[in-house]
A and B are shown apart, each in its own frame.
Chain A
Amino acid sequence: DTGVSQNPRHKITKRGQNVTFRCDPISEHNRLYWYRQTLGQGPEFLTYFQNEAQLEKSRLLSDRFSAERPKGSFSTLEIQRTEQGDSAMYLCASSYGQGGEAFFGQGTRLTVV
Chain B
Amino acid sequence: QKEVEQDPGPLSVPEGAIVSLNCTYSNSAFQYFMWYRQYSRKGPELLMYTYSSGNKEDGRFTAQVDKSSKYISLFIRDSQPSDSATYLCAMKGSASKIIFGSGTRLSIRP
Contact of A104 among B32, B44, B94, B101 (CB under 8 A): B44
Number of residues from A at the complex interface, CB < 8 A: 25
**Surface stretch bound by A, among B14-22, B45-53, B57-65, B69-77:** B45-53
A42 touches B97 (CB 8 A): no
Given contacts A48-B97, A101-B34, contact A106 B103 (CB under 8 A): no
CA distance A6 to B42 in the complex (A): 12
Neighbouring A residues of B97 by C-beta, 8 Å? 33, 45, 48, 56
B residues adjacent to A (C-beta < 8 A)? 4, 6, 8, 31-32, 34, 36, 41-46, 49, 51, 88, 90, 94-103
A residues adjacent to B (C-beta < 8 A)? 4, 6, 33, 35, 40-45, 48, 56, 89, 91, 93, 98-99, 101-107, 109
